Structure 1
């Protein structure tokens, strides 16, 4: 049986982008991936992230925000940062095979009405989906143990 690749998505608050990425990779990557997300300063899961993902048929309502410290002793095959601040601030993971950076705008910072804010979450979700699909098309598949 293949060993799933361990992937960690990192963002500042682990409230939106990294949570959406976790849900998307689980849905798109299937059992070949063990997916986690964390933040440098975790905040509660944003309800508009849950709503935007539900529109795409992915339920992330049961996910919880986690601090990066929960994973410092975990070996990941890939660590993917989703914002510049996290890329600059996160500790090195020298035991990991690959670190990637995808600069995704923070939807939690979007001004405007709730509808305008939801539109920002949709844009972030769609941008993350594109990055994941592009990455899945080029990444090595899980290997047998």
Structure 2
């Protein structure tokens, strides 16, 4: 069943879906930060246009930042419960180009972030591989810290 995207008849929290290609890294980080830092203002979900599994290096760098995403799972939009999203935030170009249709007044924002696994490809050590994960994590955190206001400013 596809999500329904109306904001009427529910709490005053802004309901956001963070969408990425595989729901393995960037969208998981955004969901984790939103739940940890903005739970009073935002109801956060994440999904992918494909399913790639939760990235263990994303879990590791999020734990370093004090946010446990190890219990989250990689899922497709179609697997979400029927929800009424206010915003769909795409975090990569592929998800932006392949974003499914959401009926109703849902608003979309593209806020692209580099792909940590791509940046880490070819690194010689695990510590070198973690550097791009940490950088992108910190960029996503800065975006999430500005929610919900950063939705209208991009």
Q: CA distance change for structure 1 residues 120 and 86 in 2, over 3 Å: closer, same or farther?
A: same
* Structure 2 alignment gaps of length 5 or more: 1-9
| 1:11 alignment partner in structure 2 | 20
**Correspondence 1:128 to 2:140:** yes
The verdict on how the C-alpha distance between 1:114 and 1:100 changes in structure 2, with shifts beyond 3 A counting, is same
**Structure number with higher helix proportion:** 1
Instruction: Please state whether the residue corresponding to 2:40 is helix, strand or coil.
Output: helix
* 8 Å CA contact retained: 1:9, 1:81: yes
CA RMSD of aligned residues (A): 2.0
With over 3 angstroms needed to count, the CA separation of the structure-2 counterparts of 1:26 and 1:96, relative to structure 1, is: farther
Q: Which residue of 2 aligns with 1:143?
A: none
Kindly indicate whether the alpha-carbon contact (under 8 Å) linking 1:79 and 1:96 is maintained by their aligned counterparts in 2: no
Deviation for aligned residue 1:72: 8.3
Conservation of the 8 A alpha-carbon contact between 1:2 and 1:32? no
2:75 matches 1:75: no
What does residue 111 of structure 2 align with?
Answer: 102
Following TM superposition, by how much is the alpha carbon of 1:35 offset from its aligned partner in structure 2, in angstroms?
Answer: 1.1
The whole-number CA distance in structure 1 between the counterparts of 2:117 and 2:150 is 30
Cα displacement string for residues 7-49 of structure 1 (whole angstroms, at most 9, x for unaligned residues): 1000011010000000001111123322110011111111110
Length-normalised TM-score, structure 1: 0.86
Q: Does 1:52 align with 2:64?
A: no
After TM superposition, give the deviation of residue 74 of structure 1 in Å. Answer: 2.8
**TM-score normalised by length of structure 2:** 0.82
- 2:130 alignment counterpart: 118
Measure how far apart 1:98 and its partner are: 1.8
